[in-house]
Amino acid sequence: MARVALVTGGTRGIGAAISKALKAAGYKVAASYAGNDAAAEKFKAESGIPVYKWDVASFDACAAGVKQVEADLGPVDVLVNNAGITKDTAFHKMTLEQWTAVINTNLGSLFNMTRPVIEGMRARKFGRVISISSINGQKGQFGQVNYSAAKAGDIGFTKALALENAKGGITVNVICPGYINTEMVQAVPKDVLEKNVIPQIPVNRLGEPEEIARAVVFLAADDAGFITGSTLTINGGQYHA
């Protein structure tokens, strides 16, 4: 029987690539999203993957969302915590709203999403929790104190939860992408990308969403059971933790 995978932020960018790659690998996939209905419907029509709308910053919304996915597809075996936002500004100008929104969505969501599935995984003696952090959670980034703090927290969450569940057939890992060719990065002015960003990447290009998705499929596999608590850095050689 096909395993069930749930991908948050799974209808655009890296998340969409992850959802499609897991489906291609034989998983029953559900993709959640926060607000872009048009993009979600387009993704659903193109991929045939069911989509679900809720705010990952809300524990109650996540619990209800997981319940619906499990009613439709079956118990969640693979959870990919991919949803994230940015609200960049220098810290001395940062508002409380800019801080809490990013912390709640990019870090709080790991609790909100993983808590409703972890007991079932423990009972079934199988689970894969894969979170998408960032190069900036490893090295920091100007104007991203909120984002860097949250993404660094994702790494600590992973290490601790991996220890708690290692004996129960559940692995917990985190991927730190570098600069990936998504809408978020494409929003950066082209001259800034070409002069300031790409020269910092030794392979001399942006990564592709599919390159992150392949790593998720690898970590999600039944035979990846000896890999847990790991941080997988995929950044073209830009930074070595």
Distance CA 47, CA 12 (A): 12
Q: Are 32 and 10 in contact (CB under 8 A)?
A: yes
Distance CA 104, CA 99 (A): 9
**11-19 average pLDDT score:** 98
pTM for this model (two decimals): 0.97
Lookup: tokens for 239: 């930074």
Lookup: tokens for 64: 């209800």
What pLDDT does 184 receive?
81
**202-229 average pLDDT score:** 98
Q: Is the pLDDT of residue 123 over 90?
A: yes
Looking at residue 210, its amino acid is E
Q: Is the pLDDT of residue 16 over 80?
A: yes
The residue count for the chain: 241
* Catalytic residue list: 147
Helices (H), ranges, 36-108: 37-47, 59-73, 96-103
pLDDT averaged over the chain?
97
**218-240 average pLDDT score:** 97
**pLDDT-derived band of residue 187, with 50, 70 and 90 as boundaries?**
confident
**Angle value at C-alpha 185, between 233 and 194, nearest 5 degrees:** 95
Distance CA 174, CA 233 (A): 9
**211-218 average pLDDT score:** 98
Tell which phi-psi region holds residue 90, choosing left (phi > 0), alpha (psi between -120 and 50) or beta: beta
